């Protein structure tokens, strides 16, 4: 019943924020880099974040104190992202705020001193540098991949279900119901967009949960369940750099964007991504952890095959 109430709250808040965004003309106007053609209200991710933090405070007693405060470190990102959704800010300002939040979160987590890859373990102070860079990258790549209706929201729900079912963390079900209420409005054709306040904050939340527990091979869960996002974002970034492009400039070269340019509908792209994630979620659930490393290798091969498939449909340099 409690989770149903959170879902209803997310649904109501999304509706109210949509009405407010329309009234105040907080609208995403399509341009040559957009994957949509109709002016659409943005900032709906605020409903997700508010709902999540209400659930977080209600469940506070069952959440480790260091993780609780690390998640609260997202507040500066929420504020700067919300402002950016209303009046565009420079990427430097957003990056500085994200960096401060990442440092604050790592402080509350007590740092990262080891990462367990099942067969071996990494140790050392330098892991904090790796964690800092990773938190920034995950925060931004989740924002980069929020470009078509329902894509970032559906990814968040499936990752969150994995957090709950496989990592046995109640935060997962809170994220899932908070995002589901928004997804009702964001499914194609979306009547409201998530905005940076939703996508960047969700990326940060996932990153913090990742580095709150790097034992038992959990890192493979994250590498696999977020593979559609981090693989696409990383390969695209490297290709653009090799092509001499300005990597901080907006573009339409991610795999999911090229599929829509080829002619696939938003819904088709999202449904295929959901199917892929469901397959790997079931495999992670059913396969013993000592075999996750092999599942990760299979996942990498599948991501490479998917990228080749997209390249044939719509070339990266076309």
What pLDDT, on a 0 to 100 scale, did the predictor assign at position 123?
A: 95
* CA distances, 18 to each of 42, 44, 185 (Å): 7, 7, 9
Q: Of how many residues is the chain composed?
A: 318
Q: What is residue 28's DSSP assignment? A: E
* Residue at 318 is within a domain: no
Q: Let me know the angle formed at the C-alpha of 266 by 179 and 138, rounded to the nearest 5 degrees.
A: 50
157 versus 39: the higher-pLDDT residue is 157
Banded model confidence at residue 247, pLDDT cuts 50, 70, 90: confident
pLDDT tops 70 at residue 32: no
| Rounded Cα distance, 174 and 192, in Å | 21
| Rounded Cα distance, 58 and 79, in Å | 22
Mean of pLDDT over the chain: 94
What pLDDT, on a 0 to 100 scale, did the predictor assign at position 1?
A: 72
Domain that holds residue 272: 2-313
What share of the chain in percent tops pLDDT 70? Answer: 98
What pLDDT, on a 0 to 100 scale, did the predictor assign at position 34?
A: 63
What pLDDT, on a 0 to 100 scale, did the predictor assign at position 119?
A: 85
pLDDT tops 70 at residue 152: yes
pLDDT digits (tens, 9 = 90+) for 73-131: 999 999 999 999 999 899 999 999 999 999 999 999 999 999 999 888 999 999 999 99
Residue 132 has φ and ψ, to the nearest 5°, of -60, -50
Joined together, the tokens standing for residue 79 give: 């504020």
Mean pLDDT calculated for residue range 146-172: 96
What is the number of structural domains in the chain?
A: 1
What pLDDT, on a 0 to 100 scale, did the predictor assign at position 12?
A: 98
pLDDT tops 80 at residue 318: no
Number of neighbouring beta carbons within 10 Å of residue 226: 24
pLDDT digits (tens, 9 = 90+) for 38-86: 889 999 999 999 999 999 999 998 899 999 999 999 999 999 999 999 9
pLDDT tops 70 at residue 251: yes
| Cβ contact 77:97 at 8 Å | yes
pLDDT tops 70 at residue 19: yes
pLDDT tops 90 at residue 249: no
pLDDT tops 80 at residue 252: yes
Residue 28 has φ and ψ, to the nearest 5°, of -90, 110
pLDDT digits (tens, 9 = 90+) for 179-198: 999 999 999 899 999 999 99
* Residue at 243 is within a domain: yes
pLDDT digits (tens, 9 = 90+) for 194-246: 999 999 999 999 999 999 999 999 999 999 999 999 999 999 999 999 988 88
pLDDT tops 70 at residue 168: yes
pLDDT digits (tens, 9 = 90+) for 253-267: 999 999 999 999 999
pLDDT tops 80 at residue 33: no
| Cβ contact 181:9 at 8 Å | yes
* Residue at 154 is within a domain: yes
* Residue at 162 is within a domain: yes
């Amino acid at each position: 019943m409690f989770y149903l109430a959170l879902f209803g709250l997310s649904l109501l808040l999304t509706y109210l924020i949509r009405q407010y965004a329309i009234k105040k003309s907080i609208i995403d106007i399509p341009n040559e880099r957009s994957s949509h053609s109709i002016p659409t209200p943005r900032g709906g991710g605020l409903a997700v974040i508010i709902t999540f933090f209400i659930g977080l405070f209600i469940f506070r007693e069952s959440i480790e104190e260091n993780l609780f405060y690390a998640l609260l470190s997202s507040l500066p990102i929420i504020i700067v992202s919300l402002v950016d959704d209303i009046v565009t800010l420079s990427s430097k300002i957003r990056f500085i705020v994200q960096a401060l939040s990442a440092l604050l979160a790592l402080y509350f987590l007590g740092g990262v001193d080891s990462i367990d890859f099942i067969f071996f373990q990494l140790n050392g102070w330098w892991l904090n540098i790796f964690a800092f860079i990773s938190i920034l990258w995950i925060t931004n790549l989740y924002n980069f991949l929020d470009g078509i209706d329902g894509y970032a929201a559906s990814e968040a729900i499936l990752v969150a279900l994995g957090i709950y079912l496989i990592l046995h963390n109640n935060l997962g079900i809170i994220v899932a119901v908070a995002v589901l209420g928004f997804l009702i409005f964001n499914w194609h054709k979306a009547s409201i967009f998530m905005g940076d306040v939703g996508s960047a904050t969700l990326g940060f939340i996932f990153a913090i949960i990742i580095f709150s527990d790097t034992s038992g091979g959990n890192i493979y869960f994250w590498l696999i369940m977020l593979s559609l996002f981090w693989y696409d974002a990383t390969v695209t970034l490297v290709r653009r750099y090799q092509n001499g492009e300005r990597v901080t400039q907006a573009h339409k070269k991610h795999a999911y964007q090229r599929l829509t340019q080829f002619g696939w509908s938003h819904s088709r792209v999202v449904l295929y991504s959901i199917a892929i994630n469901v397959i790997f979620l079931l495999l992670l659930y059913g396969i013993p952890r000592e075999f996750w490393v092999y599942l990760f290798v299979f996942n990498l091969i599948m991501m490479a095959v998917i990228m080749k498939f997209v390249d044939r449909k719509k070339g990266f340099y076309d």
